[in-house]
Amino acid sequence: MPYLKFISDKDLCAAVKKVITVIDAAENDAEKKLYKNVIDPFSALFHGVTHSISCKDWLELEKARQIQKTMQNAIGDFHQDILGSVNDWQNLGKGGGLDVINEKMKIIAEVKNKFNTTKGNHKVEIYDSIKSKLKMERYSGYTGYFVEIIPQGKKKYDKPFVPSDNKKNGKRRPSNNKIRVIDGVSFYALATGREKALQELFEVLPKVIMDKHKYNLSQKEMREYFKLFQMAFST
């Protein structure tokens, strides 16, 4: 029986392996670079003392902080890999302009992991990139989406994308029904035809990780992680 009904086991396991490989490499790299970068001893002292954290444990926290950006990028790529492996969807890869496309549904999309991953000016660049694509004859009749997998305030939305341009006194890009911003739950449902596809993906990940890799997770821990999922999304 497959792990999920909207993606092959091969593609799912490959996407999971890619994330774990990136994280493992980042952790090894952080270990090597921890002391090469200048550590702020004042921050270490104040943070450690006020939070009853030993110097050794603080250094572990600092190492985790240093790999956070790498991990977040890996999770963003993970969603691009998953969505690009769904039937009728294609992963445009690096340098593809945008991230995924469905020619049958006439949808192109840029996928980001979290609503605050992308800063204001970059959002304007994404809007302009989508607009530029939609002007091309090949993409006539398409809708372009900016996907924020983790939404702000647990909200579901599918609305015109109107980012503000800081270089033009905060003036927003004009509203266009063909250029939209959407949350992760809604986009996964749109892409797969399954209302709870994102939740199904999250729930199966512990099993995939334990089946294919050297890690273990108790049922209690699984429930705790699922609580985090519920806190992030309107389930």
Residue 30 lies in a domain: no
Residue 8 lies in a domain: yes
Residue 145, amino acid: Y
Residue 103 lies in a domain: yes
Structural domain of residue 217, as residue ranges? Answer: 1-13+71-235
Residue 57 lies in a domain: no
Among candidates 115, 22, 110, 118, which has minimal Cα distance to 68?
22
Query: Where does residue 151 fall: left (phi above 0), alpha (psi -120 to 50 degrees), or beta otherwise?
Result: beta
- Span 184-212, mean pLDDT? 96
Residue 231 lies in a domain: yes
Q: How far is the C-alpha of 111 from the C-alpha of 143, rounded, in Å? A: 14
pLDDT for 56-83, tens place per residue? Answer: 998 888 888 878 878 888 999 999 999 9
Dihedral over alpha carbons 49, 54, 56, 61 (to 10 degrees) = -60
Residue 150 lies in a domain: yes
pLDDT band at 55 (very low <50, low <70, confident <90, very high): very high
Q: How far is the C-alpha of 180 from the C-alpha of 146, rounded, in Å? A: 6
pTM for this predicted structure? 0.89
pLDDT for 116-145, tens place per residue? Answer: 766 667 889 999 999 999 999 999 999 999
Beta strands in 8-161 (DSSP E): 90-91, 100-102, 107-114, 143-150, 158-160
3-state SS class at 89: coil
Q: Tell me the average pLDDT of the chain.
A: 90
Position 119 scores a pLDDT of: 66
Residue 212 lies in a domain: yes
Residue 43 lies in a domain: no
Q: Total domain count for the chain?
A: 1
